[in-house]
Structures are given as structure tokens and as C-alpha cells.
Amino acid sequence: MSERSDLRAAEEAIRRRRPEDFASVDPGDVVTARWVRMKCTYGCGGYGGCLTCPPHSPTPSETREMLDEYETAYLIWWGDSPPGRSVLAEIERDVFLAGHYKAFTFATGPCRLCDPCPLEPPCRHPHQARPSMEACGIDVYSTAHRAGFPLRVVTSHEDTPNFYSLLLVD
Ligand code: SF4
């Protein structure tokens, strides 16, 4: 497990991108569930629309197994502005170069780096394309609530959404 002092560079890399807030979370407290995948498959217009979304993205159980390989993670709250994949990739890169060789980011929403996604590997922007938490079966609501952050169902276009990303460190 990373020592606290080792995590200063990771926290600084996050802070520099000016999120609303962020919190250290135990990867064991990141909730995965099969219903998340079901919601992606039945009811999401983005299903099958890019290489970072189902059916191409990891299943909830694969994600659970991956999360269990980590001991340190950060949940990053971006307020009502979804973070660009390039910003998240920059954070991941900074953290990797600080010595955290397992650094990996989960983004938010479908990947829109190409328009449209060619849906044929290899991905055209492999250094930036990262799957969203929900695309990998993470229950973002429960995970945010466990970390003490707000998230509720958006019920109208006037409602304010909240966006999150997850950074695995170690
Ligand atoms: S970067 Fe392009 S090819 Fe890769 S997942 Fe995103 S949209 Fe698809």
C-alpha cells in the first residue's frame, strides 16, 4: 500500500485540474452491481456506441476483480461539468510518472473523442480513451454516497447533474 507521503504527488495532480472536490476511498468501498450493466444494455442510447461502453467494456465481475487488486483510490467530484477524457488521462499520466505504475482512470459517460467511434479495435486514442465507471458496472450513486458526496437522479433538464471519475492509484 502507498505511504501517505507517496500520495502527495497524486493528490497534487488531481488538485491542479481543479475538481469540485475529491476523496481518498478504499477500493473495497467502490460498489459494483449487475444491475448497472443491465441498465446499460436495456435503456441507454449509448449502448454499443463506442469501444469504452458495453458490450466492449469489462463486466461488473471483471471490474470487481480489478478493484480488488488495488488498495488506494480517489473519487473525484467534478460538479456539474463532466471532465474531458484528456484531462483525466493527464491526471493518470502524472500519477503514473510519479511512480504509481498501476494508475488507471475510470471516466464518466461514453467516449466521444471520435465522431462516430469506428467500433473496430484498435482504438484511435488509446492514451485518452477510458471507460466510464458505469460502463464497467460500478454503482456510482452508492459509491459517491459512501464517500459523502452528493448524487441523485436528475429529473429534468433544469436539474443540476453531478459528475464523478475514479482514479485507482497504488
Ligand atoms: S477514442 Fe475513438 S475509437 Fe477509441 S473508444 Fe473513443 S471514440 Fe472509440
| The pLDDT value given to residue 6 | 83
Domain count, the chain: 1
What is the domain range of residue 164? 3-169
Residue identifier of the C-alpha nearest atom 3 of ligand 1: 123
Mean pLDDT of the chain: 95
CB-ligand 1 contact for 107 (6 Å cutoff): no
Give the bridge partners for 21, in sequence order.
77
CB-ligand 1 contact for 117 (6 Å cutoff): yes
pTM summary value: 0.95
Atom of ligand 1 nearest to the CA of 50: 8
CB-ligand 1 contact for 125 (6 Å cutoff): yes
Summarize pLDDT for 60-81 with one digit per residue, the tens: 999 999 999 999 999 999 999 9
CB-ligand 1 contact for 143 (6 Å cutoff): no
- Give me ligand 1 centre to Cα 145, in Å: 30
Confidence band for 2, pLDDT divided at 50, 70 and 90: low
Confidence band for 95, pLDDT divided at 50, 70 and 90: very high
Cα–Cα distances in angstroms (integers) from residue 113 to residues 117, 124, 153, in the given order: 8, 9, 26
Summarize pLDDT for 112-152 with one digit per residue, the tens: 999 899 999 999 999 999 999 999 999 999 999 999 999 99
Summarize pLDDT for 136-147 with one digit per residue, the tens: 999 999 999 999
DSSP track, 19-83: -SEEEEE-GGGS-B-HHHHHHHHTT-TTTTSSTTSTTTSPPHHHHHHHHTT-S-EEEEE-TTSPP
CB-ligand 1 contact for 111 (6 Å cutoff): yes
Summarize pLDDT for 12-62 with one digit per residue, the tens: 999 999 999 999 999 999 999 999 999 999 999 999 999 999 999 999 999
